[in-house]
Amino acid sequence: MLAYIAQRLMTGFVTLFAVAAIVFLVMRVIPGDAAVMMTGAGAGVVSDEELAQVRKKLGLDRAIPIQFADWAGDVARLDLGTSLRTGNPVINDVARRFPYTLQIVIMAMVLAVGIGVPIGVIAARFMGTGLDRAIQAFSIAGLAAPSFWVGLLLILGLVKYFNWSAPLFWEPFWISPLKSMSQLIWPAVAVGLRQLALIARMTRSIMLEVLGEDYIRTARAKGLSEWTVVFHHGLRNGLLPVVTLVGFEFAALFGGLIITETVFSVPGLGQYVVTSILARDYPAAQGIVLILASIVVLGNLAIDLLYGWLDPRTRLQGA
Amino acid sequence: MYPRDAFKTRAVTRRTMLATGASALALSLSAPSMALAQTPKRGGTLRISNGGDPPDFDLHQSATYLTQFVGAPCYSTLLRIDPSDYNKLVPDLAEKYDVSADGKTVTFKLRSGVLFHNGMTLTAEDVVYSLDRIRKPPAGLVSPRKGLLGNITNVKAVGDLTVVITLAQAQLDFPFLVSNPYNVILCKKVAEPLDAQGQGMKRQIVGTGPFKLTQAVDGQIYEMERFDKYFGKAAYLDKLQFFPIKGEIERSAALQGKRIDACFFFPNESVLSTLRKVPDITELRRPTPTFINLIPNVKMKPFDDPRVREAISLAIDRDAFIKTVGPLAGAAFHSKGLMLPGSPYSLSDTEVKQFGGYDTLPGMGGNVAANRQKAMTLLEQAGVPKGFKVVMIARGDVPAFRDSSINIAAQLKTIGLDASVDIRDAGAFYAAENKGDFQLIAHSVALSGSLPDQILGEGYTSFGGRNYGQWKDDSIDDRFRAQSAEPDPDKRKKLIHDFQIAFLKTYFQINLAWVGYGAAHSKSVKGWNAMPDLYANMQMDTVWLDS
């Protein structure tokens, strides 16, 4: 198992290096560099000399491979550089913002799994009934509604009917967990609705398959309660694809938060990455993409390990 | 030519400039004259939101209201616009100024004992450094408004409290230009070393204004508290807090939910109209010196041909443009000529109608179909093939760029051009624009003020910094300089009139509409007078809370 983990970590490292190189290159080939944005070109025509001076100051006049080697060397020492926009070390900006994003992602996934799995099971158990159709309609609507639109509707609805609007100060979880969760519940709902719908549909479809298996019929024949048959024998065996989906969606949520955080003005990573890219803040954009890629790589590794725990057949003996 | 004593006890105003040419006179300026119906209350925190985080704090290097709004309460200028009257200048750091008989030497006498937020005392050297920094930025820094002070040939300190400015030629608008809200006075001892590193004042604010920056957290809050050693009358508010809420709807919801007290920047009329129905909220839209122009790149064929540029202007139904784009981008106003809507320098209807397509401005009764027919004839004469491809690059994040471009592209199709829009993010848009890598753009241009030297100088000269279309015409630039130096108001008015006629004939820029900024605040916010200029009156020292 240790060898397997080491092998996966090595693959992950190569993946991260490739991501870093691609992001670095993409940031430099898209039109409009950091110098153009920093000189506020929108205020008027900036001379080539002025732009050249700023590029020189930023080190952008050097060859791209040299710039990449410098940056990669810093990253290897866990130094993501200094944000051109905020002037802070990128790692500090990330450390301040990451907890909010992580908390929304966790809350969204808890909502999605906590509601999506049971209603998926219920829909399968009562297939073809009005309840099943209602759950299916709900999940299709959840899949179709973009999170930013749901967020805007929530904001407008809450202010219109409850005079509630998004807070200006977001309480960190470790200071006041309850207050923090009550503040972030709406962004979590906005972003988690799609995941909830997806998980409900996936659970329903897997459970329909599982509930027709011989061992389920056997369990029922043994006189076990329906609850035990469905949740103990059925759900446990049907959970594997759902876990895979949860793993992927957990990672995808970090990217999906970009717009939701902007809508609710949550000072999280999503807002930071979009602002950094638009401002051509190279160190910040590169650093944050690298961190997000690391989360995806580690998330996938965790899911693979979870597989072995859930399904002994997939355990890698001596691997 | 410049009677020295004529207006010694009067404040200088835009109106007196127009009426008497009195701006370049010896003046002793009056104090701010807020006419207040209620007795202001002291204390409280004003919570404001606009469209996002300021990219940095260096006002001299900036051109965005996001920076200016956060910087204005912390800084001072030599003179300032009267908080109750946009047309009047009152003392700020300079208690008076004097203009020489030939109008070429302006002497500012500074207040004594003015303190920066770091405890240092303001001296004339700080003013000299600041003005030189704007007109001749140190290496690695940029100055978008250096053209505004381009008439200065020398700035020198005489003693600790006197600054003498020498101009290349007399300039009536100079007191307003030097007191532009962006032209704040920095502390030389703080700024100079940072400038030498090429960093400038991007990360800190050390000013002499009524508020002092105490907290700046990217994405969360910009907080300032009253500066108790402020040289002027102390601000009423204890604190100001700016919150970078990016979306219009979200800002509006925050105001309705009473999380904030005031917010700015509502291009979309539907958001303002929602707020209009809320009893405790006051909303407004004011014209501001920002126009939306169509700018052909004259270095690119066939836009080097004036017939093609005129044809494009003829194709535009301006009334339809304002009705369609106006509610989306705040482009609700129009002017007759190049100056601000309602300006005393506006052209007559007859004069405006002589220029292709301008007879379709609201209420002018132009014939759109006939104009477009004429446009097609002009294109044919210029040898432009039918179906000629025109790609308009547009900035995607600002409705004034994006929605204007979409509307114009649709209108250009009516004269047989194959027009389309290439929407880009700000960085990609400005990179192409700065390189002159475009055919035709619809551009929202926010100018630094509404005086002739600001609108014509910045917007319509080849050297003013906004010459995106890369045209060159010495006669236009000479006309600008002539009106700028003319002390006689009637003669100047004639020169400004002639400038507008001459420029409109070139179709170097084709005016579509003027923008009005939207703002809204709780009715408990008092003492803030919305100016016809987004940047004016943002020091917030006269604002108080009635709650």
**What ipTM was estimated for this complex?**
0.78
Of A53, A159, A169, the CB nearest to B256: A159
Residue A152 forms contact with B (CB below 8 Å): yes
Closest partner residue to A40 among B144, B217, B250, by Cβ? B144
Residue ranges of B 313-372 with Cβ closer than 8 A to chain A? none
Same domain, B509 and B528: no
Residues B507, B533 within the same domain: no
Contact A152 B140 (CB under 8 A): no
pLDDT 10s digits, A196-237: 999 999 999 998 888 888 888 888 888 888 888 888 888 888
pLDDT score recorded for residue A316: 52
Q: What's the distance, Cα to Cα, between the start and end of chain B in Å?
A: 53
The pLDDT of A266-271, averaged and rounded, is 88
B432 interfacial to chain A (CB closer than 8 Å): yes
Concatenated DSSP letters of B415-481: GT-EEEEEEE-HHHHHHHHHHT--SEEEEEEE-S-SSHHHHHHHHSSTTSS--TT----HHHHHHHH
Residue B220 has pLDDT above 60, yes or no: yes
* B479 and B533 within one domain: no
Query: Dihedral, CA atoms, A91, A92, A95, A96, nearest 10 degrees?
Result: -150
Structure tokens that stand for B176 in this block:
């307003």
Radius of gyration for the alpha carbons in chain A, expressed in angstroms and rounded: 24
B8, pLDDT greater than 80: no
Q: What is the pLDDT of residue B300?
A: 94
Question: Which residue is associated with the tokens 């998330």?
Answer: A299
By three-state DSSP, how is residue B286 classified? strand
Q: For residue B251, tell me if it sits in a domain.
A: no
Residue of B nearest to A43 (CA): B63
How far is Cα B195 from Cα B60, in angstroms, rounded to an integer? 12
pLDDT of residue B473: 94
Distance CA B292, CA B446 (A): 9
| Residues B209 and B324 reside in one and the same domain | no
Which residues of chain B lie closer than 8 angstroms to A33, CB-CB? 427, 431
Residue B360: per-residue pLDDT = 95
Query: Nearest to residue B76, comparing CAs of B199, B229, B195?
Result: B229
Residue B200 Cα, gap to closest chain A Cα (Å): 12
The predicted structure's pLDDT at residue A196: 93
Chain A within 8 Å of B274 (Cβ-Cβ)?
Answer: no
Of B19-33, B58-72, B82-96, B128-142, give the lowest mean pLDDT range. B19-33
Q: Answer yes or no: do B43 and B61 share one domain.
A: yes
**Contacts with B, A 12-71, CB within 8 Å:** 30-33, 36-46, 50-51, 53-54, 56-57
Residue in chain B closest to A38 (alpha carbons) equals B55
Q: Where are the domains of chain A?
A: 90-318
**pLDDT given at position B51:** 81
| CA–CA separation, B87 and B16 (whole Å) | 9
Percent of chain B exceeding pLDDT 70 equals 93
Contact A166 B144 (CB under 8 A): no
Which residues of A fall within a CB distance of 8 Å from B259? Answer: 165-168
- Closest chain B CA to residue A51: B140
Residue A42 has pLDDT above 80, yes or no: no
**CB–CB contact A45 B431 (8 Å):** no
Closest CA to B176 of B490, B454, B479: B454
Q: List all residues 6 or more positions away from A237 whose beta carbon is below 8 Å from its beta carbon.
A: A210, A213, A215
Q: Which of A43-47, A243-247, B123-127, B227-231 has the lowest mean pLDDT?
A: A43-47
Ramachandran angles phi, psi of A36, nearest 5°: -60, -45
Confidence of residue B28 (pLDDT cuts 50, 70, 90): very low
Q: Average model confidence (pLDDT) for chain B?
A: 89
Q: Looking at domain A90-318, what is its CATH homologous superfamily? A: MetI-like (1.10.3720.10)
What value does the mean pLDDT take over residues A96-116?
93
Cβ count within 10 A of residue A317: 5
Q: Are residues B207 and B292 in the same domain?
A: no
Please report, for the domain that includes residue B469, its CATH number. Answer: 3.10.105.10
Least confident of A234-248, B120-134, B189-203: A234-248
Mean pLDDT on A67-84: 89
CA A255 to chain centre: 5
Q: Report how far apart, in Å, the C-alpha atoms of A84 and of each of A81, A268, A319 are.
A: 9, 18, 45
Nearest to A46 among B142, B254, B424 (CB): B142
On average, the pLDDT of chain A sits at 85
Minimal C-alpha gap between B426 and chain A (Å)? 7
Asked if pLDDT for residue B36 goes beyond 60, the answer is: no
The bridge status of strand B418-424 relative to strand B239-243 is unpaired
Domain range spanning residue B60?
A: 14-227+524-545
Token pair 């503040």 is found at A183
Asked if the Cβ–Cβ distance from A44 to B144 is below 8 Å, we say: yes
- B61 closest CA partner among B144, B132, B140: B144
For residue A214, how many other CB atoms are within 10 A of its CB? 7
Burial A84-119 (b: 16+ CB within 10 A, else e): bbbebbbbebbebbbbbbbbbbbbbbebbbebbbeb
pLDDT for B219 equals 86
Residue A135 has what pLDDT? Answer: 93
Query: Is residue A95's pLDDT more than 70?
Result: yes
Q: Is the pLDDT of residue B355 over 50?
A: yes
What's the mean pLDDT in A177-201? 91
CA A249 to chain B, closest CA, distance in angstroms equals 26
Say if CB A265 and CB B245 are below 8 A apart. yes
Are A45 and B468 in contact (CB < 8 Å)? yes
A34, A58 contact by CB (below 8 A) = yes
- From chain A, the residues in CB contact with B426 under 8 A are 32, 37, 42, 278
Percent composition of chain B: helix, strand, coil (DSSP 3-state, to 5): 35, 20, 45
Q: Of A28-32, A126-130, B357-361, which gets the smallest average pLDDT?
A: A28-32
Question: Between chains, do A168 and B221 touch, taking CB under 8 Å as contact?
Answer: yes
A165 and B55: CB-CB below 8 Å? Answer: no
pLDDT at position B10: 36
Residue B4 lies in a domain: no
At residue B162, the 3 state secondary structure works out as: strand
Tokens 């609201």 belong to residue = B362
Report A:243-262 residues touching B (Cβ under 8 A). Answer: 262
Confidence at residue B430, expressed as pLDDT on a 0 to 100 scale:
85
**Mutation target vs B (from A86, A259, A271; most B CBs, 10 A cutoff):** A86
Domain membership of residue B278 (yes or no) is no
Using pLDDT thresholds of 50, 70 and 90, give the confidence band for residue B57. very high
* Structure confidence at residue B475 (pLDDT): 96
Higher-confidence residue of A50 and B216: namely B216
pLDDT at B247: 85
Residues 6+ apart with CB under 8 A from A137: none
- What is the strand order of the sheet B105-110 is part of? B27-28, B94-99, B105-110, B162-167, B152-158
Q: What is the amino acid identity at position B429?
A: F
CATH number for B129 = 3.40.190.10
Same-domain status, B161 and B58: yes
Q: Are residues B93 and B178 in the same domain?
A: yes
Q: Is A267 on the interface with B (CB under 8 A)?
A: yes
Chain A environment of B59 (Cβ under 8 Å) = none
The Cα A307–Cα A298 span in angstroms is: 14
> Do residue A57 and residue B198 have CB atoms under 8 angstroms apart?
yes
- Cβ contacts (< 8 Å) between A31 and chain B: which residues? 424, 427-428, 431-432
Which value, in Å, is the radius of gyration of the alpha carbons in chain B?
23
Assigned token pair, B63: 């051109």
Q: Hey, is the C-beta of B15 within 8 angstroms of any chain A C-beta?
A: no
User: Which tens digit of pLDDT belongs to each residue from B457-488?
Assistant: 989 999 887 888 999 999 999 999 999 999 88
The count of domains in chain B is: 2
Partners of A38 on chain B (C-beta within 8 Å) are 55
* Per-residue pLDDT at B376: 95
Closest CA to B413 of B382, B431, B390, B434: B390
Which residues from chain B sit within 8 angstroms of residue A85, using beta carbons?
55-56, 218
| CB atoms B140 and A39 under 8 Å | no
Report d(CA B250, CA B446) in Å as an integer.
24
Q: Which of B177, B389, B423, B394 is nearest to B295 (CA)?
A: B394
Other beta carbons within 10 Å of B5: 8
Q: Is residue B60 less than 8 Å (CB to CB) from chain A? A: no
B135 within domain boundaries: yes
In the numeric block, the tokens 């050390």 are attached to B206
Helix (H, G, I), strand (E, B) or coil at A88: coil
pTM higher than 0.80, yes or no?
yes
| Each residue's pLDDT tens digit, B281-330 | 998 888 889 999 999 999 999 999 999 999 999 999 999 999 999 999 88
Q: Give the mean model confidence (pLDDT) for residues B430-436.
A: 84
Provide the terminal-to-terminal Cα distance of chain A, rounded to the nearest Å. 6
Q: Which residue of chain A is at minimal alpha-carbon distance from B198? A: A57
Confirm or reject contact between B68 and chain A (CB < 8 A). no
Closest by CA position to B44, among listed B214, B261, B236, B262: B236
Q: What sections of B91-242 are H helices per DSSP?
A: 124-135, 174-178, 188-196
Please indicate, yes or no, whether residues B382 and B415 belong to a single structural domain of this protein. Answer: yes
- Across residues A297-311, what is the average pLDDT? 76
Q: Would you state the pLDDT for residue B183?
A: 94
Q: Tell me, yes or no, whether B191 and B294 share the same domain.
A: no
Confidence category of residue B390, pLDDT binned at 50, 70, 90 = very high
Q: Is the bond leading into B302 cis (omega within 30 degrees of zero)?
A: yes
**How distant, in Å, are the alpha carbons of B336, B372, B498 from that of B501?**
11, 22, 5
Residues B61 and B178 in one domain: yes
pLDDT over 90 (residue B382): yes
Measure the CA–CA gap between B417 and B285, rounded to whole angstroms: 35
Cβ-defined contact of B427 to A279 (cutoff 8 Å): yes
Q: Report yes or no: B141 and B160 within 8 Å, Cβ to Cβ.
A: no
Whether residue B103 sits in one domain with residue B202:
yes
Q: Over range B120-144, report the average pLDDT.
A: 92
Is B252 a domain residue? no
